[in-house]
Amino acid sequence: MAGDDDLEDEFAAFEREAKEAAAKAQAEMAKGAKAHPADEGKKDEPAASSDEPEEEEDEFAAFEREAKEAAAAAASSMGGGASGGTSTATASSAPKADEKAADEEEEDDDTPVGVLTDAEKKLRDAAQEAAKKTINQASKALFGATSQTILVVGGGIAGITAAIEAAETGYDVILLEKQSYLGGRVTRLNRYFPKLCHPSCGLEINYQRIKNNRLLKVMTMTQVVGVSGSKGDYKVKIKTSPRFIDEGCNGCGSCSDAVETKVDNEYNYGMDEIKAVNLPHEHAFPMKYVIDPSVIGTDDADKIKNACSAGHVDLDAKETDGDLSVGAIIWATGWKPYDSNKLEHYSYSASPDIINNVEMERLAAPDGPTQGKILKPSDGKAPKRIAMIQCAGSRDINHLPYCSMICCLASLKHAAYIREQYEDAEVDIYYIDIRAHDKMTSFYERVKRDAKVNFIKSKPGHITIDEDGRPLIHGETTIGDRKIYDEAYDLVVLATGMEPSLPIETDFEAAPERDEYGFVINGNDSDNGQFAAGVAGGPFDVALSTQTATASALKAIQAVRGN
């Protein structure tokens, strides 16, 4: 790639050639204009004197306007001729036709002065198309990229941030999300740090920014199935699953009212059920219903179709494949909770009252399975004694060797949720050490001052179920007077860690580089044109995820510009 000075010299030369060609074309147009009937009788008129400034300005404005039109035609000469087989030589040689034939032809020409004929319009359009090709070629030569479109894979908080930041700087952006809605894990939270906001606060603002940006295209229910090529010229294969409801859906809900069939509610991690045609949640974006594939071909499908008077139900919709050409890719594929069933010593599947941290978040959410009331899943009663086990699977060579960063803070937040609802409830937090970084230390200190919240330095060994069906935690304290304990609880919350959602076994021809745990590695420069945003690149909280998203947007812009 040439240095900055070389780029400026090349562009200056390109601009100079364009101006020279424009001037030449203007001269040719001027020769042809002399033969127009409207000009007869004006050949011997003297030039306007210097005391007529208004006329001089008008003539100059006309000249400028004609020169701009001529520049478009001239560009075709620079590009080697107009597209569609139209040669620019036709325009320049036209005035050289037989003068008598031209006079006869112009006698029947009623076209006003300054208005292009159909032939001239066709020539102009061909010239503009050739100029566009020339500019694209010059851009490729100068900036070293065949595409300046940026692809963002994943529509969580990081992907949304990266896509908006890139689009608002003037770049075309495509945002892909495999779910039927944007927002990712954040939209499933009750509140999130650092301000303990509800998800609708930050996400709703970003949704408005998406709606107002014509450069940003959103594709939901879409996944990447193949990547080839290199920086500036990636070919991405995508797969889009059918929603069975078209883009005209206005979210009226008539289709949902027509059926009673329910399916497991993935949005609430399967803790309740939802109708087979549904909005995943009340703030879903886009606000469009989706039909579960399990009802296609059943009587319910016909009820759904008949209920939509506007005709937006499409039961014959099929999975579609597509191809995208992009210059850079931002992986914002997010994370998934570590599988609690793998923690056999904690008996997750043995009792409904042993849950994990993401399920706890849904229990506390107003739009969750219990409308925000924290209750025991087994019998719907209020828990009186609750245990939270930190690093459940994290910092463990048998599971996740790394710290997932958010688990300690999530448990502190969950303790606060419980204490807000139940003034007599007691919470025990079993921990290795508390990692409350930066400003979060003050939140930790606040929770710690609550006499009903106890911090027990210990990694519990295992959990059994007592004769009353209550989870029984067994272990040994590791500070002060070490002692063996066997404690029964109404509810146990496992603070499971995060692992990347992007499968490590992807066989993309041009796959992003990843570490041993599956997180996408960001290099020190933009040579490869693929970057990570949010938890796709490592365990981060919301604030750090958005920061990395902004950084990835900047790197992607640098990559497509060829710098």
What is the DSSP-derived secondary structure letter of residue 46? Answer: P
CATH for 525: 3.50.50.60
E strand segments, 180-267:
216-220, 222-230, 233-240, 262-264
Of the candidates 436, 458, 483, the residue with the CA atom closest to the CA atom of residue 387: 458
Asked if residue 105 belongs to a domain, the reply is: no
Q: Same structural domain for residues 247 and 237?
A: no
Q: Same structural domain for residues 374 and 281?
A: no
Distance CA 475, CA 347 (A): 14
Q: Same structural domain for residues 367 and 414?
A: yes
pLDDT by residue, tens only, the chain of 563 residues: 444 455 455 555 656 666 666 666 566 555 554 444 444 444 444 444 444 444 444 554 554 555 556 555 554 444 444 344 433 334 344 444 444 444 444 445 555 556 778 888 888 888 877 776 776 666 666 655 578 999 999 999 999 999 999 999 999 999 999 999 999 999 999 999 878 889 988 899 999 999 999 999 999 999 999 999 999 999 999 999 999 999 999 999 999 999 999 999 999 999 999 999 999 999 999 999 999 999 999 999 999 999 999 999 999 999 999 999 999 999 999 999 999 999 999 999 999 999 999 999 999 999 999 999 999 999 999 999 999 999 999 999 999 999 999 999 999 999 999 999 999 999 999 999 999 987 889 999 999 999 999 999 999 999 999 999 999 999 999 988 889 999 999 999 999 999 999 877 677 999 899 999 999 998 655 468 999 999 999 999 999 999 999 999 999 999 998 74
Structurally, how many domains does the chain consist of? 4
Q: Same structural domain for residues 305 and 344?
A: no
Asked if residue 41 belongs to a domain, the reply is: no
Q: Residue 166: is it exposed, middle or buried by C-beta count within 10 angstroms (0-12/13-18/19+)?
A: buried
Distance CA 410, CA 353 (A): 18
Domain endpoint, select from 448, 478, 497 = 497
Asked if residue 34 belongs to a domain, the reply is: no
Q: Same structural domain for residues 217 and 263?
A: no
Q: Which residues pair with 530 in a beta bridge?
A: 329
Q: Same structural domain for residues 254 and 235?
A: no
Q: Same structural domain for residues 491 and 514?
A: no
Domain endpoint, select from 497, 524, 549 = 497
Q: Same structural domain for residues 450 and 372?
A: yes
Domain endpoint, select from 267, 286, 317 = 317
Domain holding 297, by residue range, is 243-317
Distance CA 338, CA 202 (A): 26
Contacting residues for 496 by C-beta, under 8 A, at least 6 apart: 337, 338, 340, 343, 356, 357, 358, 392, 393, 394, 407
Asked if residue 101 belongs to a domain, the reply is: no
Say what the pLDDT of residue 286 is: 96
Distance CA 549, CA 559 (A): 15
Task: List the end-to-end C-alpha distance of the chain, in Å, as a whole number.
Answer: 8
Q: Same structural domain for residues 235 and 260?
A: no
Q: How many CB atoms lie within 10 A of CB 313?
A: 24
Q: Same structural domain for residues 2 and 120?
A: yes
Asked if residue 492 belongs to a domain, the reply is: yes
Say what the pLDDT of residue 276 is: 96
Asked if residue 108 belongs to a domain, the reply is: no
Q: Same structural domain for residues 273 and 126?
A: no
Q: Same structural domain for residues 407 and 283?
A: no
